Amino acid sequence: MARKKRRFEDIEFQQVSLKGQSLSAPLENGKQIRVDGNLLIPGDAADLTELRKRKGFIDARPLRLVRRSPDRVTPWCPHFGICGGCTWQHADYPAQLRYKDEILRKALSDHQDIPEPMAPTLPSPRQIRYRNKLEYSFSRRRWFEDSNAGSDPRALGFFVPKQNNRVVDIYECYHQDSVSDRIRNRVREYALEKDISFHDPIEHQGLLRTLVIRITSTGQIMVALVLYEEDKTVIDGFVTMLQSEFPEITSLYYIVNNKMNDAYGDCPATHAGGETAVYEQLGHVRFRIGPLSFFQVNPLQTVALYELIRDFADLDSSETLYDLYTGTGSIALFLAERVKNLVAVEYVESAIEDARINAELNGIKNAEFFAGDMKDVLNDEFIARNGRPDVLICDPPRAGLHPDVVETIIASGASRLVYVSCNPVSLGRDLLRLRESYRIVKYRAVDMSPQTPHVETVMLLEKKREA
């Protein structure tokens, strides 16, 4: 017989977890009650039912909101709480920034004698419609809030968290400019009119897989349609419709992805109409963006992020700068005018090709770009060949730095290291080794993703003087 689930009454939530969930004060048994962040925020009090026990936590679901947090606001998105895209839309923005300060503080709590952040989390100039890229999934497995809501299983939108490949049909999204809503809704309408098959993520059947919309801060729009196989009749129909009804679209592509997963970054992209690229402007640097290019999704805040990196690095014209995990080279190119030599490394070959194109576009001649696995490329021989770095910037993926890369950074002798982290947990782990040779000078969190728990951190470390 199943164990009866425990009920809790009038539990107040006081903290956020490293993943943005809300946490109660410890109970008598030492465990904290943990609730998804899109349900409750610190300051809320609720009656709850237990879902499951975890080490140190009891996961629970709210039954009734007893008291509202003073930071709670009414979400404006009709899909809030379902699609998972805006976990904190029900918290006012100053509170979100405090939560991000708390997440960073917790992630670094294992470190003794660490200084306080130089300032609170740097706010984003826009809290809604700030993204320059969104990907919408076509699916034959639509999520219905109400089981009687309808029988058509086709949807174009976002996957619902924890719901087995279900997609919520999105009609309005506040992540991107409203023209994105008009394009997406018309694409759905056209596909339904023409009875074009939507993809089934489990059966792996159906033509339409993903709709990708990019809108740059310069006002240009790129639309890419990802299909399971090439169907010229369908493609030509979409292109004709989009060019006729949305003359503001700058560039059109289609991508064929017949893999088992939705990742299309290594799939062929075919130009279908308009210009071959769109352009983004970050401060004094212009970037060419193609259908497969990686680029920061919040361009206005990216300028503030890069200015903070520049200020921390404190570069001069005699120095050699290494930029590790450079992506398409955006940080490197933003800083190139400040140094004598710039060396940038990235795993993805196509990203390095974009970096070289953008270096040429901006007349930057002091930058060299290299493609390969960081732990294999960055070694003593590479440093001897390209010059020892005076300053080193690293912006690794969420997993953080490979241990071999940490050792090479230490051995490089760089006097200053600017660590740009998108995951405070891996930052905290990497610091355990880095702090043996470097001291933390200052750091600050940056909000690149309002309405979500994601937080970026910029940290300056200086080489310790040998005794």
Question: Quick one: which H or E segment has residue 23?
Answer: strand 22-24
Q: What is the CA radius of gyration of the chain?
A: 24
Q: What is the DSSP string of 340-376?
A: SEEEEEES-HHHHHHHHHHHHHTT--SEEEEES-HHH
Asked if residue 12 belongs to a domain, the reply is yes
**pLDDT at 3 (0 to 100):** 67
Instruction: Give the integer Cα–Cα distance in Å for 28 and 181.
Output: 49
Give the number of domains in the chain: 3
Instruction: Give the integer Cα–Cα distance in Å for 425 and 400.
Output: 9
Q: Which of 282, 311, 331 is the last residue of a domain?
A: 282
Copy the structure tokens of residue 192: 């339904």
Average pLDDT over residues 295-308: 96
Average pLDDT over residues 47-70: 96
**Residues 119 and 139 reside in one and the same domain:** no
**pLDDT at 48 (0 to 100):** 97
Tens of pLDDT, residue by residue over 231-252, are 999 999 999 999 999 999 999 9
Q: What torsion, rounded to 10 degrees, do the Cα atoms 352, 358, 359, 362 define?
A: -170
**Residues 118 and 138 reside in one and the same domain:** no
Instruction: Give the integer Cα–Cα distance in Å for 89 and 109.
Output: 27
Q: With left for phi above 0 and alpha for psi between -120 and 50, is residue 27 left, alpha or beta? A: beta
Sign of the four-CA dihedral 379, 383, 388, 393? negative
Instruction: Give the integer Cα–Cα distance in Å for 8 and 59.
Output: 12
**Residues 371 and 432 reside in one and the same domain:** yes
Asked if residue 440 belongs to a domain, the reply is yes
User: Looking at residue 370, which CATH number applies to its domain?
Assistant: 3.40.50.150
Annotation-wise, does 325 bind a ligand? yes
Instruction: Give the integer Cα–Cα distance in Å for 305 and 228.
Output: 37
**Residues 354 and 434 reside in one and the same domain:** yes
Going by pLDDT thresholds of 50, 70 and 90, the confidence category of residue 149 is low
Give catalytic status of residue 83 as yes or no.
no
Of 67-76, 110-119, 387-396, the range with the lowest mean pLDDT is 110-119
Q: Give the residue among 443, 366, 376 at the shortest CA–CA distance from 405.
A: 376
Mean pLDDT of the chain: 95
User: Looking at residue 226, which CATH number applies to its domain?
Assistant: 2.40.50.1070
The string over 311-334, giving b where at least 16 C-beta atoms fall within 10 Å of a residue's C-beta and e elsewhere, is ebbebeeebbbbbbbbbbbbbbbb
**Residues 328 and 258 reside in one and the same domain:** no
Cα→Cα distances 426→107, 131, 133, 407, 422, Å: 8, 25, 26, 16, 9
**Residues 119 and 149 reside in one and the same domain:** no
**Residues 345 and 214 reside in one and the same domain:** no
Annotation-wise, does 44 bind a ligand? no
Average pLDDT over residues 135-155: 84
**Residues 377 and 234 reside in one and the same domain:** no
**pLDDT at 150 (0 to 100):** 66
For the cut 90, the answer to whether the pLDDT of residue 426 exceeds it is yes
For the cut 80, the answer to whether the pLDDT of residue 220 exceeds it is yes
DSSP class of residue 391 equals E
User: Looking at residue 54, which CATH number applies to its domain?
Assistant: 2.40.50.140
Instruction: Give the integer Cα–Cα distance in Å for 217 and 302.
Output: 11
**Residues 139 and 21 reside in one and the same domain:** no
Average pLDDT over residues 159-169: 86
Asked if residue 91 belongs to a domain, the reply is no
Annotation-wise, does 395 bind a ligand? yes
**pLDDT at 110 (0 to 100):** 87
Going by pLDDT thresholds of 50, 70 and 90, the confidence category of residue 465 is confident
For the cut 70, the answer to whether the pLDDT of residue 272 exceeds it is yes
Instruction: Give the integer Cα–Cα distance in Å for 412 and 393.
Output: 12
Tens of pLDDT, residue by residue over 74-111, are 999 999 988 888 999 999 999 999 999 999 999 999 88
**Residues 265 and 206 reside in one and the same domain:** yes
**pLDDT at 143 (0 to 100):** 87
DSSP class of residue 200 equals B
Asked if residue 186 belongs to a domain, the reply is yes
The string over 365-386, giving b where at least 16 C-beta atoms fall within 10 Å of a residue's C-beta and e elsewhere, is eebebbbeebbebbeeebbeeb
Instruction: Give the integer Cα–Cα distance in Å for 342 and 387.
Output: 10
Asked if residue 314 belongs to a domain, the reply is yes
**Residues 326 and 370 reside in one and the same domain:** yes
Q: Give the residue among 101, 83, 110, 78 at the shortest CA–CA distance from 20.
A: 101
DSSP class of residue 122 equals B
**pLDDT at 28 (0 to 100):** 86
Q: What torsion, rounded to 10 degrees, do the Cα atoms 443, 447, 448, 450 define?
A: 170
Of 3-17, 220-234, 243-257, the range with the lowest mean pLDDT is 3-17
- Residue span of the structural domain in which 51 resides: 7-72
Annotation-wise, does 346 bind a ligand? yes
For the cut 90, the answer to whether the pLDDT of residue 467 exceeds it is no
Average pLDDT over residues 194-204: 93
**Interacting residues of 131 by C-beta distance below 8 A, sequence separation 6+:** 175, 176, 297, 298
Asked if residue 163 belongs to a domain, the reply is yes
**pLDDT at 311 (0 to 100):** 98
User: How many CB atoms neighbour CB 99 within 10 A?
Assistant: 24
Asked if residue 79 belongs to a domain, the reply is no
**Interacting residues of 97 by C-beta distance below 8 A, sequence separation 6+:** 120, 121, 123, 447
Q: Give the residue among 199, 197, 166, 172 at the shortest CA–CA distance from 184.
A: 172
Copy the structure tokens of residue 258: 């017949």
**Residues 379 and 260 reside in one and the same domain:** no
User: Integer distance in angstroms from the first to the last C-alpha of the chain?
Assistant: 66
Asked if residue 226 belongs to a domain, the reply is yes
Instruction: Give the integer Cα–Cα distance in Å for 42 and 449.
Output: 19
